[in-house]
Structure 1
C-alpha cells in the first residue's frame, strides 16, 4: 500500500469523532488514574518515615508537579502536535526528523533542570517555608529526583512522540508499568522491605528515577522496532532550526501555562492559610476532589492533540474544530458531574478524611462554592490540549493568565476588606469559570489551518 493510500484510511481523520475520542481516551485514563494513585501511595509511605519527611515531600511536590506538567503536558503537547500535523500531511520524513529533534530537546531540558535545582534547590525550598529537618529531607529527595530529571523528560517526550503518531496504548501501558514500578521500587528502597536496607527519602526518590528510566527504555525500543509508524533515527538527521521551532512554538509557550497553574495554586494556598490550619486542611480535602478532574480531563485532552493535529495536517480544519468542541463538551460533562456530586454531598466526601468539625465545615464550604464550577476548568483544560494540536496555544495561555489575575486581584480585595472564608472559595469557583469561558472564546475566534487565499 502506498503512503498516500495509507493516509486516506487513517481512522483518526476519518472515523466518527466521538467514538474516536473515546477510543483514544480510555487507555490514557487508566494511566492517569494509576499516576494519581502513585501520588497517594507515595504520601502514605513517606508518612511512615516521620513528620519531617512528610513536610519535606510537601516542599518538593510543587516542583515535581511543575516538571511533570511541562514535560508531559506542555512540551509533550508541542511534540505530539508537530508530529501529528506532519503525519496528517503524509510527511513521514518530517515526522521522523521531528522525533529526533524531540530527543535532543529532552536531553537539553533534562540536564538544564538538573543544573537549576542543584544550584537553586535550597533557596527555593527555603522561600517556600522550609527549615530544619523538613528542609534537609526535601534536599535529599530533590537532589536524587532532579539528578535523574533526564529520565523523566525522555520518558514523557518519547511517549508524546508515540501519541503524536496516534498510538495511545503503548504510552499508557508503559506509564502504568512505570507507576507500579515506582511504588514497588520506591517503597521497597525507602522503607527497607525484606533484605533491602532502609534508604529513606533517598530510596523513595531513587525508585522514581529507576521507574522512569525503565519506561524511557521501553518506549525507545518501541520507536526503534518498526512497530510504530515513526521509526526514531539515531543518526544521519540534519539539524533544522525550523523543526525545533515547530515543537517549541507550542511547547515553550504552553510551559507558561504550567507556571501559571502552579503559581495559582500556591497563591490560593497562602490565602487559605490565613484562616488557620483547620481551613487549610479543609481546603486540602476539598481540592482532592478537584484533583480527580485531572485524570479524566488529561485523558480526553491528550487524545485531542493527534486528532486535531492530523486533521489540520490533512487539510480538514472543520473536523479539527468538531473534535475540539466534542472533546471539550465531553470533559465538561464529566467534570461537572464530579463537581455537582461534591456540591450535593460535601459531607460524604469530607467525612472520608476527617471527623474534625472545623475541618469538615471548611471542606463543605469549599465544595459548595467551588464544586459547581469544576466543569469550566475541565472544559478549558481540554480545549487547551486541542489548541496544542492546532499549534495555536496563545489564546488558552492568556486564559490561564486571566485566571491567575482574577485570583491575585480578588485575593487582594478579600484580604484588604477582611472578607469571610466562603468568599475565598467562591473566588476559586469564579476563577475556573473565567478560565473555561475565556479559553472557549479564544478557540472560537482563532483561525486553525492555513489562511484562506
Structure 2
C-alpha cells in the first residue's frame, strides 16, 4: 500500500499530479467517445449532431442516479484506505459494485420505456421536432439498453480511484476508445464488404455500448483477478444492509447533485429546443468541445477527491486543505492558457467537427465559435470550481457539493438563460452568457465556503480501521528494526 500512503505524507504536488494525470487522460478518452460520435455524425448530417444535443441531457438524468453511488464508493474506499482499513475498503468496494449494477438494470429498463415520453415534453421548434427528435429517440433506446455496461466500467474506475490507482483504469479506457473509434464509422455508414449495414445514429449508440462492455469485462478482471486495487472477496458481494445504508447515505446527495445537474440540462435543452436546428446543434457541439477543454479541471477535481479523502481518513485535515488550494491554483493557471487558445482559434476548432456543406452547418459553426469564445472567459473559474467540489466530496460532505451545484445551475444558469435568451432579446448569445455566469458564481461561492473549514471531518471510523489493520498485521515486523509496522503513515 506504499503507493497510497504517498498521498498522506511528504510532498503534495508530485503525488497529486501523478494521481491526476491518468484521470485527465481518462477524461480525455471519455470525451473521445462523444467526440468520435460527433465527428462521424457531423459527416452524416447537422441534424444527427443536434439529436445528440437533445439525447445526452436525458440520458445523463437517468444514469446520474447510479453515478452518485459510484462516487460514494470512491469516497468511502479513499477514507478507509487512508485510515489503514484494507478489509473495510474491500467490503465497501464489493457492496458498491453489487448495489450499482442492480440499480443500473432498473435504470436501463426505465430509460428504454420513457424515451418517447421524455422527448415529447420538449416544446420543440417544428423543424427540430420533425427532423431532430426522432433521431434522438433512436439513439437513446439503444444506449439505455446497454447502460449496465457503462455502469460496470464507471464503478470500476471510481473504486480504483478511491484506492489511489488511476493508471490501470486509464489503460483499459484506452483499449475501449480504440475499439469505439474503429467500429463507429463502420456501424454509422456501413461496410458492405463485411456485411455491415449502415445504421446511422443507431450505429453510434451500438459502437459506444460494445466498447463500454469490453471495458467493463476488463475492469472486472482487474478487480477480481489481480491485486492492484481493493481486495474484494466473494463475501463482500453479498448485500449487507448496513454497508448499503452507508453507501446510500453518502451517495444520495451525490446522486441528487448529478440528477439535479442533468435535470437543469434537460430544462435548458427544452428552452434551446425552441430555437432553430442550428442553435440546437451549436449548443451540443459547443458542450462537447468545452468538456474536452475542461479535462484538466475534471482530472484535478477527482484527484482532489481522493487526496482529501485519504488525508481525512489519516486524520490530516490541514494537509487536505493545502492540497485543495494547490490544485485550485494549478488548474486556474492551466485553464487560463487554454482560454487564450480558445479565444484565438474558436472557429477553426469548431469547424473540424462539422464538415457538411449546408446553410445549417455554416450557421452552426458560427454559433458554436461564439459559444466557445464566451465560455473561455470563465475557464479558470470552472477549473477551480471542480477542485472545490472535489474537496467537499472527498470529505464525504456531498450535501455541500450538492448545494453549490444547485447555486450554479438552478439559482443562476437556468433563470439567466430564460431571462436573456427566452424573455430577453439576446437570443442564442444569452444561452452562452448564462452558462458562463453560472460557473463563475458557483466557483466564488464554493471557494468562500471552503475557507470556513467545516468540511474537515472524516465520515469513517478511523480508529476502528486502524485497529483492524493493526490486528491483521500484528505478526508483520519491519525488516530493519524488528518492530511492528505502522499501517497508517504520518507526516515527516
Query: What TM-score, normalized to structure 2?
Result: 0.79
Q: Which residue of 1 aligns with 2:462?
A: none
Structure showing greater relative contact order (alpha-carbon pairs closer than 8 Å, 6 or more residues apart)? 2
Match of 2:451 among 421, 436, 444: 444
279-288 or 300-309: which moved more?
Answer: 279-288
What is the aligned partner in structure 2 of residue 43 from structure 1?
38
- Tell whether the 8 Å contact from 2:115 to 2:137 is kept in structure 1 after alignment: yes
> Aligned runs of 1:53-452 on 2, under 5 Å?
54=49, 56-66=51-61, 71=66, 74-128=68-122, 129=124, 134-193=132-191, 194-198=193-197, 200=199, 201-235=201-235, 239-269=239-269, 287-343=287-343, 346=346, 349=349, 362=367, 365-403=370-408, 404-414=410-420, 418-421=424-427, 422=429, 424-445=431-452, 446-449=454-457
Conservation of the 8 A alpha-carbon contact between 1:308 and 1:323: yes
User: C-alpha distance in 2, partners of 1:304/1:310?
Assistant: 10
Deviation track 1:34-53 (CA, whole Å, cap 9, x = no partner) reads: 22222122123335556665
* C-alpha displacement of 1:303: 1.5
| Secondary structure of 1:292's aligned partner | helix
SS of the residue aligned with 2:248?
helix
Deviation at 1:213, TM superposition (A): 1.7
**RMSD after superposition:** 3.2
SS of alignment partner, residue 233 of structure 2: coil
**Does the CA-based 8 Å contact 2:42-2:49 persist in structure 1?**
yes
Task: Give ranges in structure 2 of 5+ residues lacking alignment.
Answer: 460-492
Q: Give the direction of change, closer, same or farther, for the CA distance of 1:76–1:198 in structure 2 (3 Å limit).
A: same
Listed one character per residue, the Cα deviations across residues 290-320 of structure 1 (whole Å, up to 9, x for unaligned) are 2233322221122222211111111111111
Q: How far does the alpha carbon of each residue in 1:55-88 deviate from its partner, in whole angstroms, 9 at most, with x for none? A: 544432223444665555x433211110011111
Distance between the aligned counterparts of 2:41 and 2:351, measured in 1? 23
Q: From the superposition, tell whether residues 399 and 203 of structure 1 become closer, same or farther in structure 2 (CA, over 3 Å).
A: same
Aligned-partner Cα distance in 1 for 2:51–2:274 = 21
Counterpart Cα distance in 1 of 2:218 and 2:108: 23
2:195 and 2:290 map into 1 onto residues whose CA distance is 37
Question: Using the alignment, how far apart are the partners of 1:56 and 1:282 within structure 2?
Answer: 11
CA 1:139 to 1:378, structure 2 compared with 1: closer, same or farther past 3 Å?
Answer: same
- The 1-side partners of 2:264 and 2:227 are apart by 42
Structure 1, unpaired ranges of 5+? 1-5
Structure 1 residue 390: Cα displacement: 0.9
- The answer as to whether partners of 2:331 and 2:380 remain within 8 angstroms in 1 is yes
Kindly indicate whether the alpha-carbon contact (under 8 Å) linking 1:70 and 1:76 is maintained by their aligned counterparts in 2.
Answer: no
Match of 2:468? none
Structure 1 position 238, deviation (Å): 5.9
**Distance between the aligned counterparts of 1:208 and 1:425, measured in 2?**
29
Query: How many residues get paired?
Result: 445
Query: CA–CA distance in 2 between the matches of 1:199 and 1:416?
Result: 38
Give, in whole Å, the separation in 1 of the partners of 2:251 and 2:20: 21
Are the counterparts in 2 of residues 395 and 443 from structure 1 also a CA contact under 8 Å?
no
Q: Shift of the alpha carbon at 1:140?
A: 3.7
Take 1:8 and 1:38, find their aligned partners in 2: how far apart are those partners? 30
DSSP 3-state at the match of 1:235:
helix
Deviates more, 1:27-36 or 1:273-282: 273-282
Q: TM-score, normalised by structure 1?
A: 0.86
1:131-153 Cα distance to aligned partner (Å, 9 max, x none): 55755544443332222221111
Change (3 A) 1:179 1:369: closer
